Structure 1
Amino acid sequence: MSAPPSYRSTVSALAFGQIICWAALYYAFSSFVLPMQRALGWSKPALMGAFTVGLALWGATSYAVGAAIDRGRGRAVMGFGAALAGAGFLLWSRVDSLPMLYLTWALLGAAMAMTLYEPAFNVLTKRFPDRYVRGITTLTLVGGFASTLSFPACAWLMAWCGWRGALAVVGALLLLVVAPLHTWALRGTPQHAVPHARPDAAADSTLHDALRERSFWLLTASFTFYSFAAAALWAHLMPAFAAKGRSEAQALAVVVWFGPAQVLGRLLHYVFGRRITPRVLGLAVLGGLPVSLAIFALADHTLALLVFALLFGFANGLVTIVRGSLVPDYFGREHVGRISGAMSGIALLARAAAPLATAWLLLALPGYREMLLVLSAVGVAALVAFALAERPARS
């Protein structure tokens, strides 16, 4: 039997898979909202409901995916996840009814749980226990360009072969390229994939301890508000630009800066992060969200819109790092999986509800400007909750 791929080959393959999977499964939906609405005549809330179903299934299946990886089935999870994503896009390209669209996004939501970041992080941690941190950093750096790839690629594909053809091309890429690549990259067991002995950490908080801490609930509220506002923006991004009277090309000239800003934020953190505490970084990141959304709501000048893209991308690139570093800093490392899972479960529900909730909100508001200001206020609430969440004292 041939030797398993090297560390570098595995990380490179998974990084390629991450940028394609994030571009397709998370960022592409907004690009297809208006073409589908024109072609099929469905309302915006009905379309956003499909994305909500996908996000809800992502959250609902995440625990089962993690358990499967813990049992050594990471290769099957990531290979099947990419294949399921490809099949879902092919099915999406044929939808002619709302129930079929919702079923498609239920499948794509499960595929999200099997492919986007967390399963790749967990697989790397198990396969390369001494080198996984740099591998995870590489995945987030490469994945940060997914939004930069997604919007122009979707626009080009739709101009070339229509929205149905574009979906079919993406499905074929996932099914015929990414799925086999995942399967190849994770074959065999590297020689050094041995479990680490965990040190005793009697002073660390259990989940039961954390649930009794005020800071746990404030942090949960903060990340839930952030998830809601960010997910709502991603789902309504292209329609919001259209409401400003911007053409698709003008919108793309702005949104392509999300990816570089995300990557810049992660690079700066990689270089200088040891000098900044997670709390200080969190205050800066969470402060960037409401400011960027307010700029997007009120500004019409291209320069101001570029400032929005850079500020939002910078904050969005660092928020995962903030949460990942703050939870063990506040509650210890021994039970970080359970504590983080409890926090993320609530945030995932908010993220799932955001596209549909804001679509209905639009029916009660004059337009996207007002909706974006509401989301900016949600961002302020996230910042306030974070600022009030002080580090608990542990014995």
Structure 2
Amino acid sequence: MKIHKQEVLGHYNKKFSSFALFEGRSGKDFSPYQASSRFQVTKHDKVCIEKLRTWLATHNYDSGVNEYSLQLRELKVGEYFDLICKVLHISKVSEEESILFVWDGTDAPPACFEMQLGPQSGSFPLQLEEVPLSRDILSTFPCIGTILRIVTGKSFDDTLVHLKVLGQWVKFRNITCRQKFGLWEGLVVASSRIFLLSEQDNIAQCCQRKYDERLLHEVEHTSLWSFPAPAAITETQLEHVGLSTLMEILTHSKVTCKYKCIVRIIASYPWLAEDFRSPNFPHVYRIRFTLEDSTARIHAYLYGEDGVEFFEGYPPAHLLTAKMNKLLGLEDKSIGEGGEVAATRNPPWVQVCIKSYYLDKNDPWGSRHYRICNTKIVG
């Protein structure tokens, strides 16, 4: 053992040292899952391993808040931080990479979009993973609070397997994050570490308690404090309907239903106001909006009479452009003149009503779509 930069470290010498790695809490035998060529297990080793396993079974790591500890609501691009969270799901992307879906009950900051507005501006992905998670998996996720994807490498995955972190509260040490298409993505680095926490850990219990309080307020409709305050840009007709998150919509028990949400409209397709109506049917709107809140993203369509209500008729192209500018966070820019316009956008939060429906009665869940309805732009 040596001291290096005020830390106690084990020193391995290739000439005479040997090593072996054994399973921890779940271990039943004394066969290492990784070992050097010269290692041979002895009776003394087995005694030590058994004592360590007994200690691990009863030992709980202290979450230990420090100056580097952040919640998801405090995320900043490029900073290294510690995170206490619950591991909700693990997806194996490849032999070299996995994605952990983690949550702490808070809402990550919404992104500003630095992009070129143009034909590709309507192509925001709904999630970072190539294949979306099934509804069965999504139904196990909390309906309030951001789900952060954390990308790991093979060496980190080996640790995850042996710690059995799925469904557990954990502490990540020294991870970082970035934004891709306005979605937060966590990253582990060579110095990142992960520790299991006790279910009785004070911070883990505090996170769970705050989530339960948020959920109770939404069920009772006694407060809207967990939702962003919407800008006075839209109005809805479903005053009697309580607010829902997009995750609630994705996991709702009924295929067809109406919801009221506070969302940001981050993209539209088509993107030019002059193309919002069909050239063959000039009185028929046909637009696909990309909506997001702190929990998820979805595509929602604005079609036919719902579009007439939304835009209050058939305004000329320049007025239609002005309305869309407000929704997309480009009140002082023009997106309706053709050509591409460089912009930094911060779309406002607005209130909309969304209707879920299906296209194929033989596969209602697989053909489920969403439409904006009973909503109009004001002002």
Give TM-score scaled by structure 1 length: 0.24
Larger gyration radius, structure 1 or structure 2: 2
Higher share of residues assigned strand: 2
Structure of higher RCO (CA pairs closer than 8 Å, 6+ residues apart): 1
Give TM-score scaled by structure 2 length: 0.25
Higher share of residues assigned helix: 1
